[in-house]
Structure formats: C-alpha cells, structure tokens
Amino acid sequence: MVLIVQFMGALLGLLAVVFGAFGAHALKKRFTPAQMASFETGVKYQMYHALLLLVIGFNFNLESSLERYMAHSFMLGTFLFSFSIYGLCLSASKGRKWSFLGPVTPLGGLLLVVGWALLGYAFVGNFF
C-alpha cells in the first residue's frame, strides 16, 4: 500500500506539472479568465495533494484501516476533484459543457475533506 501511495503521489505531481504547463501555454488562448482560474485551481489542488500523498507514504506504514481510508480518500478525492474541473473547463471551451461532471467536483472535495479529517484524527489518536 505504501508503494501505491508513493507512486500515486509522484504520478499526480507529474501530471500537475504537465497540466499546469498545458494550461499556461496551450489553453490560455482558448479559455475565458474564469475557465483559466478554475483550471488553475484543479492543478493547485492536484499538486498539493500529490505532495501530501508523498508525505503520507513516507511517514505512515498504512497498515491500519484508518490510514488506508485516509490515503484512499486523498487519492480518489484528488482524481474526482481535479479531473472533473479539467473536464468541465475543456468541454466548456468547446461549447459542449459536460454538465454531468458538475456534481463530481464537490464529491471529490468532500473526499479531500474526509482525508484531512482522518489525518487529523490519526494525529490526535496518536497523541492521546
């Protein structure tokens, strides 16, 4: 499990750099300022959580169910949150907004919140 989390952190980090560069260079002319801001939000959150996955992978053994749920929440939440934003922005720029992705973004955000809550609980649980 640790290697999967570390690999996902590295992969999501790599993709965040690629998508950030793609957005800054190739999409800047196609996107409205609001679409560009949304796309950048997806990239930022993806990078933040990629780094977090690396930290988790190197600092937790991920053997307890709490730690596994936390890691899965971050991985799935990052994918749903950021990639739904990318899909919404790209499809809207082509005039065919994929509205079915609208509810996916807050679901991904909720999973990120759950992951952070579980991380906090893991720290507090170890303290007491």
- Alpha helix (H) residue ranges in 60-103: 65-93
Long-range contacts of 87-91, Cβ-Cβ distance < 8 Å, separation of 24 or more = 88/38, 89/27, 89/31, 89/35, 89/38, 89/39, 89/42, 90/27
Task: Identify the band that residue 78 occupies on the pLDDT scale cut at 50, 70 and 90.
Answer: very high
Average pLDDT score over the chain: 95
Residue 127, pLDDT score: 74
Q: Is 95 left (phi over 0), alpha (psi -120 to 50) or beta?
A: left
Task: Identify the band that residue 51 occupies on the pLDDT scale cut at 50, 70 and 90.
Answer: very high
pLDDT at 126 over 80: no
pLDDT at 11 over 80: yes
Q: Tell me how far apart the alpha carbons of residues 77 and 89 are, in angstroms, rounded to a whole number.
A: 18
Q: Tell me how far apart the alpha carbons of residues 27 and 30 are, in angstroms, rounded to a whole number.
A: 5
